[in-house]
Structure 1
């Protein structure tokens, strides 16, 4: 993991990773007793035709958990990934991203890890691993039973106030949302993106009164 050779536009992200605390990212932090299912996601930033962009996947509609929901590539740590408190999440994030999207991990430069967060519904303890897509490779939905599609979203679209809203869950929970590339990004993924944009200084003022209702099955 290194920050050497990164493009200058990533400087604010690198600075944010070094200083941000878990409680600044989410109200849900890992259990104090060490419980939970260790996992990692890859927040992969690259350069596309429309400038800096972020790689996302859309989960298959047939899955039991988070069906049809856009997310970062990622998943549970395997024993072969190693220590979940050191390099395990790095290996898991790259391995899962390769398995889900077919990307070549050799073209990814990992440069940081955000504090571990928690998803109460699934009991996942998530390590968000940040990477620079130094040498982009073709990507696709490797297993349609798990991934419906793989797509990139320009950062300029994520910061565009017209694409921002507050998602309202049927149970009354609210959280940030992004309406981009024919997708509604919400939940854990949208929360991390929202905080990353904020602490990197990329966030633009947007209408927090704009509401989007989630399906009752969400």
Structure 2
């Protein structure tokens, strides 16, 4: 089965209700869902571009990559963090799908007509930012150039090879201590940055559900880069 077929099958599972996104302990705080704002992020996979993977390990889906952005360090919310393209659903957006594509175009310059939407994953409540986030699963049907559109919003836009994300040498556990409690979550060290938090949690769970993950040392810990 190809990576594209694996992703299609995952989208079908989500449509049938046979898919759940676990909530990290850090997110298990009271949240008024009625007052929360809807948001959408785009998980855009595609055939590996001209930038090869740094890892040479023979891993599943080696010729695949995922689009990510590094948020500008000057932003008031989640500065400097690695994220999927996306953001809040605006009143003019026809749907969460439209919102995900609009935000991705605004942040990365991609052409939305080249993106095939495979489906949506279950909504994820994110109390820290008061969003209910819908992950939208997409595929590069026709690849177009991407880059930073507004440096006030993003520091960089990059397509990270899935091989590098799966490489156990690039997997760590990020720790965050708040109010005397230490929280731990999966993270990735790729492209000179650390992918952690919401983004790393979604990537990890999707890889696990796709059957792509390989064992890694969860005892190797680093402080979350906040």
Task: Give the corresponding residue for 2:187.
Answer: 177
Separation in 2, partners of 1:123, 1:32:
8
Gaps of 5+ in 2: 53-62
Of 165, 183, 191, which aligns to 2:201?
Answer: 191
TM-score by length of 2: 0.85
Task: Give the corresponding residue for 1:129.
Answer: 136
* Kept in 2: contact 1:109–1:133 (CA 8 A): yes
1:33 Cα deviation from its structure 2 partner: 5.0
Task: Give the corresponding residue for 1:52.
Answer: 64
Aligned residues: CA RMSD: 2.0
- The runs of at least 4 consecutive aligned structure 1 residues that moved more than 3 Å come to 20-25, 27-35
1:138 Cα deviation from its structure 2 partner: 1.0
Separation in 2, partners of 1:36, 1:169:
24
* Kept in 2: contact 1:107–1:136 (CA 8 A): yes
Write out aligned runs for 1:100-111 (5 A): 100-111=107-118
Separation in 1, partners of 2:32, 2:77:
25
Task: Give the corresponding residue for 2:11.
Answer: 17
Which string of whole-angstrom CA distances, capped at 9 and with x for unpartnered residues, describes residues 62-103 of structure 1? Answer: 011110000000000111113xxxxx1100000000000111
Give the SS at the match of 1:97.
helix
Separation in 1, partners of 2:157, 2:224:
22
Give the SS at the match of 2:69.
strand
* Kept in 1: contact 2:171–2:189 (CA 8 A): yes
Which string of whole-angstrom CA distances, capped at 9 and with x for unpartnered residues, describes residues 156-201 of structure 1? Answer: 1111101101100132211110001111000000000000000000
Give the SS at the match of 2:216.
coil
Gaps of 5+ in 1: 1-6, 83-87
Separation in 2, partners of 1:63, 1:149:
14
Write out aligned runs for 1:148-167 (5 A): 148-167=155-174
* Kept in 2: contact 1:170–1:214 (CA 8 A): no
Give the total of aligned pairs. Answer: 205
TM-score by length of 1: 0.88
Q: Which moved more, 1:8-17 or 1:20-29?
A: 20-29
- 1:90 matches 2:90: no
Q: Which moved more, 1:39-48 or 1:27-36?
A: 27-36
